[in-house]
Amino acid sequence: MGFASSDEVVTYIGGIFKDAFADPEIGPKLTATGQVFRFVFTDPEATVCVDAPTQSVGDGTGQPPPAATMRMAAEVGNAYWQGKVNLPMAMAKGQITVQGNVASLLKLAPLGKRLFPVYIARLHDTGRADLLL
Amino acid sequence: MTSSAARAPDRPSPPPPLNVTSLSFWGQTADEREDTFRLLRADAPVSWQPPMEGALMPPQQEGLWVVTRHEHVLEASRRPEVYCSSQGWQFEEVPEDILEAASSIIGMDNPRHQKLRRLVSSAFTPRQVTRLIEQIQHQARQVVDRLLDAKCGDFVDLVAKPLPMWTVNELMGLDDNLREEATALADGMVSYNDPAVAAGREAGQVLNDSLVGLLTLGLDLAAHRRRHPAADLMTNLVQAEVDGQKLTDEEIASFFVLLTVAGNDTSRNATSHAVRALQDHPDQRRTLTQDFPGRIDAAVEEILRWSSPVMTVRRTATRDTTLGGQHIRAGDWVALMYPSANRDERVFTHPERFDLTRTPNPHVSFGGGGPHYCLGAFIARAQLRAILNELLHRAPTLEVDTPEYLVSNFVHGIKHMPCHIT
């Protein structure tokens, strides 16, 4: 089983960041990065754009240009946010491509790690344990 | 934030001038750094310092222990159950994904570490070692042939770089046409903190680009060797089983990264430092040339002590313990300063002297013993013996100019060093 629709990708992957902004500890740190990141998924196609300074999550429309864009299959995205994908290794295998400033993504690494349990909890809480790896 | 942060007040910190965790400290010369290390060895041999200043990610640690005396470097190196490697081994904080993809066995503890390390060490049978050393001697001859033809240029590019590049890539089984690329990528893995190398790029970009490039070469070579086995290390790795399981592509690619980086930079820099030191100490050079076969082995050890090609490694305490009278808590980072241990006046008589007849010479340039002692130590020694034999006997009028040093808290690198033969 994977994501059934683009909306579902946006709900779950985008939801990670909505939860993160709402978290009293993670939220301010994510905002403080001052960065805009875009995730472009395939199978199904979806775009999630995270604007840290304004704490907004959208599809990129009307949002500032991103510092970095990560492209991957939605299945890889699901694994990534569960902490199951190593970014440089996935880049070497061609599973993830990064356009823009990869250094800004690396600086996010400690925060990203703290978002993995947030995503896993969301999958549990919304009855999508089938997406757990 | 670490849980130990709240207990920081009982940690003794040296006064600011003795801080070794700033980028500016590692931008100094080795002699300038030694001025600080000497004071630390005397007054604060195990000191609590701010986290290493780095450009890769915001520090997550409150600080770390800096270990400067020889005896404490040995103690931490030889107690891997207390000072582990699997929670990172770099002085500087590095994103976990990078660390995981680039570390392989250097970032593991036993028993896994030992099993994977054996895959490489078992390839070095006495017969294969003899063959490898003969090949290194042959390659050294060819390298110096090219130097004699060129007569002048950059010593690093002409002499120091080609021999280790050839050795490590030959061992791995990498095609000739990919060796320059692999070496350039390995350089990026250790030079990302040098503004001149980064050339406007962020450190993380330099490191990630280099790592992804090397991983790609490793994955491609592994796939190729599965189809076309050969007598090389990559074939060993793709065919090996550990605990009844083949290594994954990821494990093999990481191994490739580690061996390529470790095999390229260390011997290269030791060679450049050796030639510079021999020129700066003509009396020592005469001593060596008067009886090269009788003195080269001791000379190589002194060159290794003198140059400390690898400057730092880090361990993590697995439990509360004591080192140099300091209370180390579980989870604390412990950074070992090899150049300082190599100049410890408690172990080396007149450590400031370059003395090619020094014996014993218990330097820590291959590590302080224990399970992570350098796997390629015998190769590095063979390379230094071979290249110095060729240079001193066939290029006796070689002169090198002022080296251009790499800014790094990890390897003691020489980027460029003009040379000419009169």
Residues of chain A contacting residue B205, judged by C-beta atoms under 8 Å apart: 101-103
Task: Say yes or no for a CB contact (<8 Å) between A89 and B250.
Answer: yes
For B187-220, write each residue's pLDDT tens digit.
Answer: 999 999 888 888 888 999 999 999 999 999 999 9
Q: What is the pLDDT of residue B409?
A: 94
Which residue pairs from B319-326 have beta carbons closer than 8 angstroms and sit at least 24 positions apart in sequence? B319/B82, B321/B82, B323/B46, B323/B65, B323/B67, B323/B72, B323/B75, B323/B76, B324/B45, B324/B46, B324/B67, B324/B69, B324/B72, B325/B46, B326/B11, B326/B12, B326/B46, B326/B48, B326/B65
Q: List the single residue in A101, A102, A109 with the smallest CB-CB distance to B57.
A: A109
Residues of chain B contacting residue A103, judged by C-beta atoms under 8 Å apart: 56, 201-205, 208
Q: Is B345 helix (H, G, I), strand (E, B) or coil?
A: coil
Q: What is the pLDDT of residue A1?
A: 66
Instruction: For domain A6-122, give the fold.
Output: Nonspecific Lipid-transfer Protein; Chain A (3.30.1050)
Q: What's the mean pLDDT when you consider all of chain B?
A: 93
| pLDDT more than 70, % of chain B | 97
**Residue B65: closest CA among B82, B305, B405, B304:** B82
Mean local confidence (pLDDT), B295-312:
98
Residues of chain B contacting residue A101, judged by C-beta atoms under 8 Å apart: 202, 205
Contact B287, B170 (CB under 8 A): no
* Residue of chain B whose Cα is closest to the Cα of A86: B97
Mean local confidence (pLDDT), A22-48:
93
Task: Say yes or no for a CB contact (<8 Å) between A110 and B98.
Answer: no
Contact B364, B74 (CB under 8 A): yes
Q: List the single residue in B60, B218, B253 with the smallest CB-CB distance to A110.
A: B60
Residues of chain A contacting residue B57, judged by C-beta atoms under 8 Å apart: 106-107, 109-110
**Residue B339: closest CA among B40, B47, B11:** B40
Task: Say yes or no for a CB contact (<8 Å) between A91 and B212.
Answer: yes
Contact B310, B338 (CB under 8 A): yes
Task: Say yes or no for a CB contact (<8 Å) between A88 and B203.
Answer: no
Report the C-alpha gap between B157 and B146 in whole angstroms: 11
Q: Where are the domains of chain A?
A: 6-122
Task: Say yes or no for a CB contact (<8 Å) between A92 and B215.
Answer: yes
* Residue of chain B whose Cα is closest to the Cα of A113: B96
- Kindly compute the dihedral angle of the four CA atoms of residues B269, B275, B281, B284, in this order, to the nearest 10 degrees: 100
Q: What is the pLDDT of residue B385?
A: 98
For domain B3-421, the question of CATH label 1.10.630.10 is answered with yes
Task: Say yes or no for a CB contact (<8 Å) between B204 and A106.
Answer: yes
For B37-86, write each residue's pLDDT tens digit.
Answer: 999 999 999 999 999 998 888 888 999 999 999 999 999 999 999 999 99
Please report the residues numbered 63 through 122 in chain A whose beta carbons come closer than 8 angstroms to any beta carbon of chain B.
Answer: 86-89, 91-93, 101-104, 106-107, 109-110, 113
Please report the residues numbered 20 through 39 in chain A whose beta carbons come closer than 8 angstroms to any beta carbon of chain B.
Answer: none
* Cβ-based contacts under 8 A for chains A and B: 66
Smallest CA–CA separation between A113 and chain B, in Å? 9
**Residue A72: closest CA among A106, A92, A96:** A96
Please report the residues numbered 56 through 115 in chain B whose beta carbons come closer than 8 angstroms to any beta carbon of chain A.
Answer: 56-58, 60, 95-98, 100-102
Report the C-alpha gap between B144 and A60 in whole angstroms: 58
Q: How many helices (H) and strands (E) does chain A have?
A: 7, 5
Contact A13, A123 (CB under 8 A): no
**Neighbouring C-beta atoms of residue A38, cutoff 10 Å:** 22
For B12-39, write each residue's pLDDT tens digit.
Answer: 677 667 999 998 999 999 999 999 999 9
Q: Is B321 helix (H, G, I), strand (E, B) or coil?
A: strand
Q: What is the pLDDT of residue A91?
A: 97
Q: What is the pLDDT of residue A83?
A: 94
Q: Where are the domains of chain B?
A: 3-421
> Would you say the pTM of this structure is higher than 0.90?
yes
Give the tokens for residue B407. Answer: 């800014």
Q: Is some CB atom of chain A closer than 8 A to the CB atom of B47?
A: no
Amino acid at position B116, single letter: L
Task: Say yes or no for a CB contact (<8 Å) between A92 and B57.
Answer: no
For A83-118, write each residue's pLDDT tens digit.
Answer: 999 999 999 999 999 999 898 888 888 888 889 998
Smallest CA–CA separation between A104 and chain B, in Å? 8
Give the tokens for residue A1. Answer: 């089983």
Residues of chain A contacting residue B51, judged by C-beta atoms under 8 Å apart: none
Tell me what ipTM this predicted complex has: 0.93
